[in-house]
């Protein structure tokens, strides 16, 4: 089981730090604190959340396309 710190999760999943904390506090992802008091989050839970989330902005490298009718 690979775990990430909140800082690593922010960088790898391109999200705001408050989003990670909200996911932990609402128990959408499993997490625990290490001996230094830092949150550790399971990568598999973040990957599952990342597949399900709705993005408000395109990912880096993607072009936003507007459809008009």
- pLDDT given for residue 61 in this prediction: 67
Range of the domain at 22: 3-52
- For residue 57, being part of any structural domain is answered with no
Confidence (pTM):
0.71
42-52 b/e (C-beta count within 10 Å ≥ 16 → b): bbebbeebeee
Residue 64 lies in a domain: no
Please give the pLDDT value at position 54. Answer: 76
Which residues lie below 8 Å from residue 29, measured CB to CB, with a gap of 6+? 23, 41, 42, 45, 46, 49
Q: Does 29 fall in a domain?
A: yes
**Is residue 66 situated within a structural domain?**
no
Say if 11 falls within a structural domain.
Answer: yes
CA atoms of 54 and 50, how far apart (whole Å)? 9
Q: Would you state the pLDDT for residue 1?
A: 77
Quote helix, strand, coil % in the chain, to nearest 5. 40, 15, 45
Q: What is the pLDDT along the chain (69 residues), one digit of tens a residue?
A: 799 999 999 999 989 999 999 999 999 999 999 999 999 999 999 999 988 887 666 666 666 565 665
């Amino acid at each position: 089981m690979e775990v990430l710190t909140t800082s690593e999760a922010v960088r790898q999943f391109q999200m705001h730090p408050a989003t990670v904390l909200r996911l932990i506090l609402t128990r959408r992802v499993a997490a625990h604190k290490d001996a230094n008091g830092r949150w550790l989050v399971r990568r598999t839970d973040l990957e599952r959340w990342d597949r399900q989330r709705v993005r408000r902005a395109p990912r880096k490298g993607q072009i936003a396309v507007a459809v008009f009718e």
